[in-house]
Amino acid sequence: MATSNQNLSDYDLSPVEGAERMRVGIAVSEWNSEITNNLLQGAREALLKMGVLEENIVVRHAPGSFELPLVAEWLIEGAGSDGVVALGSVIQGETRHFEFVCNATAQGIMQVGIKHSAPVIFGVLTDDNIEQARARSGGKHGNKGVECAVAAVKMIALKWE
């Protein structure tokens, strides 16, 4: 495995110029909350380290990952977010449900970003088992929430250039 024993969340969390003016939404799934709460914590901490003000971080919970695109839409339209981090966890089961949820969620998140010309970052873990999800939500492979927060701040800054 290419990620074996590697922290994938080793990013520069130095403050970013203008981050204090950014309003960042976080759409987070309640499903697999052990995993998504860790992703949320990582994303929030990374945003703060990069200079986003606590009062400019807007968190909204969705029942599951499938609902994340609509929550992202609301965060941009209703909450005035400059960008959104969409966090979820879908773990492979015995049926094709996994494929449908993952594909629809990814497509929906992409469509919201394009529609609003705003970064909507895909932070949905799509793992084969709970151990892989734990490893990517604060475990030995880091925290995907951190990676997504960094991407959101960098994309907002890029748009503002």
Asked if the structure places residue 110 within a domain, the reply is yes
Least confident range of 9-18, 19-28, 47-56: 9-18
Task: Specify the higher pLDDT residue, 129 or 9.
Answer: 129
CA separation for the pair 35, 17 (Å, rounded): 31
Does a structural domain hold residue 29?
A: no
- Split into its structural domains, the chain has a count of 1
Rg of the chain (C-alpha set): 15
In a domain, 26, yes or no: no
pLDDT at 4: 54
Identify the three-state secondary structure at position 120.
strand
Assess if residue 84 is contained within a domain. Answer: yes
Assess if residue 74 is contained within a domain: yes
- Residue 160 pairs with which residues in a beta bridge? none
Structural domain boundaries enclosing 78 = 48-150
**Residue whose C-alpha is closest to residue 58's, from 110, 12, 22, 111:** 22
Higher pLDDT, 3 or 88: 88
Buried b (16+ CB within 10 A) or exposed e, 130-148: eebbbbbbbeebbbbbbbb
Instruction: Please indicate, yes or no, if residue 81 is contained in any of the structural domains.
Output: yes
Q: Give the residue numbers annotated as catalytic, written as ranges.
A: 97
CATH code (residue 141)? 3.40.50.960
In a domain, 3, yes or no: no
pTM beyond 0.85: the answer is yes
21-45 pLDDT, tens per residue?
Answer: 999 999 999 999 999 999 999 999 9
27 within domain boundaries: no
